[in-house]
Structure 1
Amino acid sequence: MASGSIEKRGPNSWRLIVEAGDSGVRDKQTKTIKIDDKALLRTTKKLQEYLDGELHTFKKEVESGEYIKPQKMTLDHFFENEWKPKYAANTDNLSPLSYKTYQTYYASHLKDKLGHKELGVIKTIHLVTFINDLSKPEARKDGKDKPLSPGTIQYIYRILKNILQRATEWQFIKANPIIGVKRPKVVQTESAYYDEDEAKVIIAALYDEPRKWRLLILGAMIGGFRRGELVGLEWKDIDLNNGTMDVVNSISLTEKGKAIEKGPKNKSSKRTVTLPDWYMEELKIHRKEWMKEMWEAKELNIWKGEEREYVFHGGFGKPYYHSYPYRWWSRFTERRGLKKIRFHDLRHSCATLLIEAGASMKAIQKQLGHAREQTTSDIYAHVTKKLSRDTAEKFNKFSPQNLQLNTTNKSSIK
């Protein structure tokens, strides 16, 4: 019969100790747990009950032989049984889309190369070799005869770092082996965007399209909304009288026909955006058309929106499939023979138009919902540099050569 005890190690950490075996040979196993729940830490009785429960589970694992010493646990086992349920599945840590993407990349690139290795034997040099090998053509899994893009390699590095960071924090390993591995570099390319003249062409073309699509596209181009924010937008989040929209919801993933909803990308993304009067006036018309469409669908018993009122939907009340606006946008630009940019670049166009109009970086940061003003400045540095050049060129008429030329011409006229 196994015996166990609990030993306090720090302000919020405890060591569980279990001894199993006969009186002659006792197998001693230890496990350290950390508790970050401040409410639980303040409640003596509930805290003790929680610790007793953890000790009971630990004893059963040791007695049955199921317990794996942290350093002996494989990366696969940690990924599936610790990282996924205790970290990744929590939407406060990863968005549903990021969680799905992490799993896909892990299965495609990490599982075969590192999944079988025990956490305790993964060394920095193993990870250096792994990251370097990702640059080879054979690292691709889609059959294309070219290396993975630098952005993809950096993303894989980011996933691996996240997993190993959790293993270190939870004391499965003493030191994180990825600390000595340099983050793969990605050369930042300039964002595509529409300038003022190009934006006018796009807006004119949109006025030959259905109103709801015109409003959705303009929401990205003049409001700076992300695609998921527009797909998840509801009428309750709009103040038609004051001309504002609140960003409180986002849909960036659809699984089995059901939209996966979450809050905005970060705290700064939860924001209120003021839109032009002409846009809000057209949105009022859309509201009337929307109500008529809803009642007609309900009469035919084909309304699927239930009590939710998504501003943009396909006719039955359910929000659009999360990627559908991008497909519509691509077809629209192709049909019209217009300059094609990504849907997300419409958001970049919003920032560009604001910069050209003289808006401050702080104002643009709030409009787009960036966490830091520096992020805004870094992304749109190329735009501000271009405007600086354009501004400087306005003073070319005052160059000594031009002034001299003008003086000479006046003299010759006399």
Structure 2
Amino acid sequence: MGSIQKRGTNSWRLIVELGYDAKGKRVQKKKTIRVDDPALLRAPKRLENYLDTELRKFQLEVEAGTYVRLEKMTFEAFVEQWISKFVDVDLEVKTRDNYLYHTKRRILPYFGHMHLDQIKTMHINDYMEYLRSPAARNDGKKDKPLGSATLVYNYRVLRSIFTKAVDWRVLKDNPMAGVSKPKEDDVKEMEVYDEREIAALFQALEDEPTHLRVLIMLAVTTGLRRGELAGLEWKHIDLERGILEVKTTIPKLSNGEPVIKGPKNKKSARKIALSPSVIKELETFRSEWRKERLQIEDKWEGGQHEFLFSALNGKPHDPQRLTKRWIEFHRKHGLKPIRLHDLRHTSVSWLIFKKVHSEAIAKRVGHSNTKMMEIYGHIFESVDREAASTFEDIVIPFRKKA
């Protein structure tokens, strides 16, 4: 049973009756709410319905044991709600893990003891300043501060927490409103292989096992992301038509089992044409793969999946393992040390160098054209300058006449 009491011009107290305690004392839960919508305040019936709805919601919270008085809710208590109702529900696996990592590693130890409504913009700015000092490191490396990418991720997580607090009407004002996003001034720029380095790469691949050749050739010639390579199955490849379809991705393994997801977005689900040389390598690899599959027999643990890059039991390799294989390879052959993901950048850069149309490149690698221009704009600028120079054949004769 509940009741509503008017408290001020536009505030009401919601009261939920919980009976009597062992001493016969009346037990109640109370919550004060404000109504700032002028249209609602001018419509008595609508206002009454709104307040009745809020009372029912409050009563359900009390009965379910989830209601906590806001002035008593700690930051840590709200974060638990944020994790269960948002992070675990709405975020992709990799993003969720990153959010939880930064929350538990630094944010909760710093703010966890504070009441949520006591955290002001000043406190958050103090925290961001603290992150810029070597004292914020907890990995033993006290000789240098955290990288700017870590600061930006902490900013992003805090913004998510306090935005949800406002959205869920736990807070009226967002203390992040006066906090500036840190500049990412030490982010490692993309590195790519040039024409000579690509030639050296493929020469080094000649004496490597087929599975490694295929892994690196696909990374360079298709621009697949690491998770897309890890999630690639034979059923996604039509060797007769020379087409590869990107349908699944494996961002990580959890407790030894692959986390198999659909493409990152609609553009990520795409068909990619394969070159004749890559098709030939894939045909050789498929033949070897099938022979190994027949030898495994009852030890197969891959189920209905047939991943290209898998352990002998059929389970896909952890994406981290693909990175490790790449690092071992480029170190072995003394190639320029770039990330596995930079082979994707190399793929795009090569296509730009060969003057393939930007829309065709974007479709091939699963980018929007505008996003690709943001990432590879400096390369497109050089191509555009070269395109401009072609007009010299027209302009120079004209200027001579003038």
- TM-score, length-normalised on structure 2? 0.82
* Partners of 2:377 and 2:96 in 1: CA distance: 31
> Is residue 376 from structure 1 mapped to residue 387 from structure 2 by the alignment?
no
Alignment partner of 1:358 out of 355, 359, 378: 355
- Larger mean Cα displacement after TM superposition, 170-179 or 380-389: 380-389
Would you say the 8 A contact 1:4–1:59 is kept in 2?
no
C-alpha deviation, 1:53, in angstroms: 9.9
C-alpha deviation, 1:18, in angstroms: 2.9
Would you say the 8 A contact 1:17–1:31 is kept in 2?
no
Corresponding position of 1:203: 202
Would you say the 8 A contact 2:2–2:55 is kept in 1?
no
Corresponding position of 1:67: 67
Classify 1:99/1:338 alpha carbon distance in 2 versus 1 (closer, same or farther; 3 Å): same
Alignment partner of 2:381 out of 381, 385, 393: 385
Corresponding position of 2:256: 257
> Is residue 331 from structure 1 mapped to residue 333 from structure 2 by the alignment?
no
Q: May I ask how many residue pairs the two structures share in their alignment?
A: 365
Corresponding position of 1:242: 241
The aligned runs of 1:5-44 (5 Å cut-off) are 18-20=16-18, 26-29=28-31
Corresponding position of 1:163: 161
Corresponding position of 2:319: 322
Would you say the 8 A contact 1:314–1:320 is kept in 2?
yes
Structure 2, unaligned runs of 5 or more: 5-12, 35-53, 397-402
Corresponding position of 1:183: 181
Classify 1:73/1:26 alpha carbon distance in 2 versus 1 (closer, same or farther; 3 Å): closer
* Partners of 1:355 and 1:263 in 2: CA distance: 28
What CA deviation, in whole Å up to 9, does each residue of 1:15-64 have, x standing for no partner?
996344669785433799xxxxxxxxxxxxxxxxxx999666423256xx
What CA deviation, in whole Å up to 9, does each residue of 1:67-111 have, x standing for no partner?
31245322211222x111211112xx3221221121111112101
- Larger mean Cα displacement after TM superposition, 53-62 or 338-347: 53-62
* Partners of 2:277 and 2:321 in 1: CA distance: 26
* Partners of 2:376 and 2:335 in 1: CA distance: 23
Would you say the 8 A contact 1:233–1:249 is kept in 2?
yes
> Is residue 114 from structure 1 mapped to residue 111 from structure 2 by the alignment?
yes
Corresponding position of 1:266: 265
- Larger mean Cα displacement after TM superposition, 23-32 or 153-162: 23-32
- Larger mean Cα displacement after TM superposition, 238-247 or 386-395: 386-395
* Partners of 1:16 and 1:331 in 2: CA distance: 65
C-alpha deviation, 1:394, in angstroms: 8.7
Structure 1, unaligned runs of 5 or more: 7-14, 33-50, 401-414
C-alpha deviation, 1:286, in angstroms: 1.7
What CA deviation, in whole Å up to 9, does each residue of 1:148-168 have, x standing for no partner?
011111111111111222222
Classify 1:391/1:24 alpha carbon distance in 2 versus 1 (closer, same or farther; 3 Å): closer
Amino acid at match of 2:217: L
- TM-score, length-normalised on structure 1? 0.80
* Partners of 2:233 and 2:385 in 1: CA distance: 42
Would you say the 8 A contact 1:268–1:366 is kept in 2?
yes
Amino acid at match of 2:120: K
C-alpha deviation, 1:196, in angstroms: 2.5
What CA deviation, in whole Å up to 9, does each residue of 1:202-257 have, x standing for no partner?
11211211111111112111101001111111122222222222222111212222
Amino acid at match of 2:332: R
Corresponding position of 1:45: none
The aligned runs of 1:79-90 (5 Å cut-off) are 79-80=79-80, 82-90=81-89
Classify 1:54/1:24 alpha carbon distance in 2 versus 1 (closer, same or farther; 3 Å): closer
Amino acid at match of 2:199: K
* Partners of 1:30 and 1:363 in 2: CA distance: 58
Would you say the 8 A contact 2:3–2:16 is kept in 1?
yes
* Partners of 2:75 and 2:137 in 1: CA distance: 21
Would you say the 8 A contact 1:4–1:55 is kept in 2?
no
Amino acid at match of 2:62: K
The aligned runs of 1:36-55 (5 Å cut-off) are none
Corresponding position of 1:311: 308
SS in 1 for 2:258: strand
The aligned runs of 1:97-112 (5 Å cut-off) are 97-112=94-109
Classify 1:283/1:68 alpha carbon distance in 2 versus 1 (closer, same or farther; 3 Å): same
C-alpha deviation, 1:268, in angstroms: 2.1
* Partners of 1:269 and 1:4 in 2: CA distance: 52
C-alpha deviation, 1:313, in angstroms: 1.1
Would you say the 8 A contact 1:253–1:322 is kept in 2?
yes
Would you say the 8 A contact 1:221–1:350 is kept in 2?
yes
Amino acid at match of 2:335: L
SS in 2 for 1:252: coil
* Partners of 2:135 and 2:377 in 1: CA distance: 36
Would you say the 8 A contact 1:18–1:30 is kept in 2?
no
Amino acid at match of 1:274: A
What is the CA RMSD across the aligned residues, in angstroms? 3.1
